[in-house]
Chains A and B, each alone.
Chain A
């Protein structure tokens, strides 16, 4: 009659020893080898603590209806300018020219956050005046909600200098973010919720473009107008205004941030345990080999009695 295995189950074999013995020392040594080296393996392969990480968010951007515009005219030192700042306009008394501004923010996907800005500006000019350059600062309100509740005032700057007198200047671009350091993972961040242009100042230096940019670029989080597609059209007809037309898209951005405690622990744990499993398996075999062959003397307690086997 053929014999077959009808049932099986593992037996537990116990090795006993005193506290101060070679076997205890060996056990301690193996345990240390099992649990500590995975830490070094994980740490030395870099990325154990995820100190910074990326996430994507669609920012809440609004055009603040504030701007600073300089139109460079033909002739040395000729320009017309306009800002939505009363004090600036008073400074620029002789060069001040008030344009007609139209702006609209679209929300095509109706998520409550604007998707793009459609901006139009018509600057009245005399027939004798020729526009050769544009400097335009648009001021935006920039908000993030997902991790850090960040609010800041930011700008989009468009600059163009032409050699031929223009009639229309068209800008197509995105408002992108430029980040120098990670933002926090929680809390309210109002560090940059200050005016880019100090509208209360009566001093001319506050409205100097380079001074505005100097203080702005010293921030760690700024926005810029990424507009490689600018079109300068020549030929302005008699009694026609100079037109600036811009379509600026607000885009989803990738932000660098410092994760919180539990996020660090979670990813550290995942990495450590995955290496530890290999070590556990390997040193389990080592232990079985050592104690089974009595390389260190122990008392072996077998789970069955000798007489029953006979």
Chain B
């Protein structure tokens, strides 16, 4: 490869441009007429001068290290402001730039050399390009400047990828008089003081287990959530509103149906007295709003499709635009009235609404007649709602704090919410809870208004058991009870076996479980001879292995009074055995084994419980073991922990579908009787062979 750096760059090269550097506007007018299609709006009177254009097929960035105007840039040898002495002090890398390295004679542009020379490099490549008649493939096309928003949007629509641009369109929720709640919608509430529309919130935990109060309740979606309230100082935090029951039901009303907002235009309640003159004029506060008087307003008994409306009540816009949009929307509404037949019944009758807060389409949260109070032993008793939580100096507790909020919402189709009631579980927060935070639960249940609460009960499947659903039990001695489940015990906080039998956890279908706890015994209690049976009794109490005859339903939807559909639990408790000394022979655990099988179609199997058995662990000798130093006499106070366990296992004993293979169809094909005529005639003389022939032929005939 030879580099022949000679001669100034000839101006007679293939590119048509006479100038090398980007120049001012004069060049563009010379050869290439700009192809700009400037769709200028007619308001701009002066035509803009054409922008300077880049000469085509030319390298223009010959000195891109010259970044300071009217001054010499350090180490930039092509900077014209630098003197020769400056350049001698610089360290300039002699790098160059090749526009296209496939050419046989290619031009090297020296980046860091301020010279008018170019270098021609001769390439000896076999497939080098000798004559390039398509130079523009190495240069970008130059797009026009964008001066109108439509061109701008054309470019962004075509080329723009994901960006941090905020969403350009904001959909304003609109309500009509026909609007009603659907599953998953937020439930609106309206506060008394200034008619603020808000949503009913269900505090839940998000990132941490601490409460996040922003979570809205969803319509028709039962929720049972819990979160932790952080309490730093019990005295001051006792009066926070989140612990007060009044926060959860007073001061606001629940919007029964969002059709109510159909009467609210742009945050202001629209008066209906303009058309229905018979009604009272008490709502004088709304007279300032520009009501669309020329448009026909709906009369109370009129058709339903009058959709006057538009946006959320919280949007605040200028009054002029309000009036225009309102009239526009009403105009379209009247147009649709004639076009569309009424299919959806009106959910809101506008004539009975006088204020947004207090009308028939909002309801207050009623207090359940029964409130619950948690006692010191964690049990619940009925009590009445008292005043707000207060700190008691003598006991050091914050009493009347809300531990659980239970909303029950009665719904009625498109009419929305019929009523909503709340029940509280109140408790006293002790100082020990402060270190950990206070667990608060919220429960919201939706029920159809026409069904009584005591008539409903939840099924565990219909008919086959659903994974994760509880298994009902039935004590033949106690009678049916829909709330009695198959349960196993749960250890107390320190891992020991609590004697609280209410703290049990229900067995869920197909979920294997293992629970255990530590039973505390010490040497003195083990030393007695009669104590083994009492320890065994303690274990049995923990396991809840009472001798009652228990039944479980074979399907999740079994009728409680259909005795044949219930399976008795097989219980083979081994008898109590005794060993002498400081050793007890004890049954330390129990396994609840559930056999189930899939029945029904293979495509939609339904799980059916075939049988349940309580399998007890075999008796083990549990001696009092001393360890190391504790074996010395006088040190026998070492407490021993016996692990009691209760497990649940589910066994799938589904029988395979019996394959039935149909018999292959018999293929019957016979030939005409004289088809093999010549053979018959030949054998006429040999009568003894005719039968044989016939048999062979008939077999052949059947084959074909």
The residue that A236 contacts in the complex, of B209, B491, B492, B514, with Cβ under 8 A, is: B209
Pair A167/B515 contact, Cβ less than 8 Å: no
Q: Can you list, as one digit per residue, whether each of A191-206 has a CB less than 8 Å from chain B (1) or not (0)?
A: 0000000000000000
Q: Is the CB of A101 within 8 A of B645?
A: no
Q: Report whether B510 and A100 are in contact in the complex, using a CB–CB cutoff of 8 Å.
A: no
CA distance A157 to B18 in the complex (A): 73
Task: From B490, B495, B643, name the one whose CB has the most chain A CB atoms within 10 angstroms.
Answer: B495
B650, closest chain A residue (CB): A104
Is B511 a contact of A98 with CB atoms below 8 Å? no
State whether B512 touches A103 (Cβ < 8 A).
yes
B-facing mask of A77-117, CB < 8 A → 1, else 0?
A: 00010101000010001001111111110100010000000
Looking at the assembled complex, report how far the CB atom of B441 sits from the nearest CB atom of chain A, in whole angstroms.
10
Measured between C-beta atoms, what is the minimum distance from A270 to chain B in Å?
37
Q: Is B372 an interface residue (CB 8 A)?
A: no
Contact-residue size bin, chain B (C-beta under 8 Å from the other chain): 35 or more
Q: Does any Cβ of B come within 8 Å of A237's Cβ?
A: yes
Q: A98-B518, A126-B494 given as contacts; is B433 within 8 A of A234 (CB)?
A: no
Interface residue tally for chain A (C-beta within 8 Å): 33
Residues of A near B492 (CB, < 8 A) are 124
Q: List, in ascending order, chain A residues with CB within 8 A of B58's CB.
A: none
Contacting pair A96 B495 (CB below 8 A)? yes
Say whether, besides A126-B494, A168-B209, A237 and B511 are in contact (CB < 8 Å).
no
Query: In the docked arrangement, what's the CA distance between A235 and B210, Å?
Result: 6
Chain B residues positioned under 8 Å from A100 (CB to CB): 490-491, 505, 513-515
CB < 8 Å: which of B205, B433, B490, B516 contacts A238? B433
Report the nearest A residue to B495, measured CB to CB.
Answer: A97
Chain A nearest CB: distance from B599 CB in Å? 15
Tell me, yes or no, whether B193 is within 8 Å of chain A by CB: no
B494-520: CB near A (< 8 Å → 1, else 0) gives 110000000001001011111111100
Chain B residue, CB-CB nearest to A103: B512
B495 partner residues in chain A, CB cutoff 8 A: 80, 96-98, 124
Contacts of A65 in B (CB 8 A): 512, 514
Q: Would you call B180 an interface residue if the criterion is a C-beta within 8 Å of the partner chain's C-beta atoms?
A: no
Q: Please tell me if the beta carbons of B513 and A98 are within 8 angstroms of each other in the complex.
A: no
- Asked whether any CB of chain A lies closer than 8 Å to the CB of B207, the reply is yes
Q: List, in ascending order, chain B residues with CB within 8 A of A235's CB.
A: 205, 208-210, 228, 230, 437
Closest-by-CB residue of A relative to B625 is: A90
Q: Does B436 contact A (CB under 8 A)?
A: yes
Check if B432 is an interface residue, CB within 8 A of chain A: yes
Establish whether residues B436 and A237, one from each chain, have CB atoms under 8 Å apart when the complex forms: yes
Q: How far is the CB of B398 from chain A (nearest CB, A)?
A: 13
Say whether A167 contacts B433, CB under 8 Å.
no
Given the interface pairs A100-B491, A102-B513, A103-B511, the reply to whether A127 lies near B207 with Cβ below 8 Å is: no
Question: In the complex the two chains form, is B491's CB within 8 Å of A233's CB?
Answer: no
State whether A234 touches B208 (Cβ < 8 A): yes
With an 8 A cutoff between CB atoms, is B693 at the interface? no
Contact of A237 among B439, B490, B627 (CB under 8 A): B439
Q: Contact partner of A99 among B226, B508, B516, B605, CB < 8 A?
A: B516
Inter-chain contact B514/A124, CB cutoff 8 Å: no
Tell me, yes or no, whether A220 is within 8 Å of chain B by CB.
no
Scan B207-221; emit 1 where CB is below 8 A from any A CB, else 0.
111100000000000
Q: Are B645 and A128 in contact (CB under 8 A)?
A: no
Give the complex CA separation of A237 and B627 in angstroms.
36
Residues from chain B with Cβ under 8 Å of A218 in the complex? none
Instruction: Tell me the smallest distance from the CB of A216 to a CB of chain B, in Å.
Output: 24
Decide yes or no whether B3 CB sits under 8 A from chain A.
no
Interface residues in B515-529 (C-beta closer than 8 Å to A):
515-518
* B515 x A101 contact (CB < 8 A): yes
CA distance A241 to B465 in the complex (A): 29
Residue B641 at the A interface, CB < 8 A?
Answer: yes
Assess A98 versus B209: contact at CB under 8 Å? Given A104-B512, A167-B228: no
The answer to the question of B357 belonging to the interface, with a C-beta cut-off of 8 Å to chain A, is no
Question: Are A101 and B641 closer than 8 Å at their CB atoms?
Answer: no
Q: Are B641 and A93 closer than 8 Å at their CB atoms?
A: yes
* B208 and A96 contacting across the interface, CB-CB below 8 Å: no
- Tell whether B453 is near chain A: CB-to-CB under 8 Å: no
Task: Point out the residues of chain B lying under 8 angstroms from A93, CB to CB.
Answer: 627, 641
Per the 8 Å Cβ criterion, residues 46-93 of A in contact with B are 65, 80, 82, 84, 89, 93
Once A98-B518, A124-B491 are accepted as A-B contacts, the answer to whether A233 and B205 lie under 8 Å apart by CB is yes
> With A167-B228, A233-B208, A235-B205 in contact, do A127 and B435 touch (Cβ < 8 Å)?
yes
Q: Whole-angstrom distance from the CB of A117 to the nearest CB of chain B?
A: 10
Residue in B205, B435, B517, B605 whose beta carbon sits within 8 Å of that of A98 in the complex = B517
- Complex CA–CA separation, A238 to B495 (angstroms): 15
A236 to B230 CA separation, bound complex (whole angstroms): 10
For the complex of A and B, list the 8 residue pairs with the smallest distance between their C-beta atoms, beginning with the closest. Answer: A98-B516, A235-B209, A237-B439, A237-B228, A97-B495, A238-B436, A238-B433, A167-B209
25 A-B Cβ contacts within 8 A?
A: A84-B514, A93-B641, A97-B494, A98-B495, A98-B515, A99-B491, A100-B490, A100-B515, A101-B513, A101-B514, A101-B515, A103-B513, A104-B511, A124-B491, A126-B493, A127-B435, A233-B207, A235-B205, A235-B230, A236-B228, A237-B437, A237-B439, A238-B432, A238-B436, A239-B436
Chain B residues near A (Cβ < 8 Å): 205, 207-210, 226-228, 230, 432-433, 435-439, 467-468, 490-495, 505, 508, 510-518, 605, 627, 641, 643, 645
A interface residues (Cβ-Cβ under 8 A, vs B): 65, 80, 82, 84, 89, 93, 96-104, 106, 110, 124-128, 167-168, 233-241
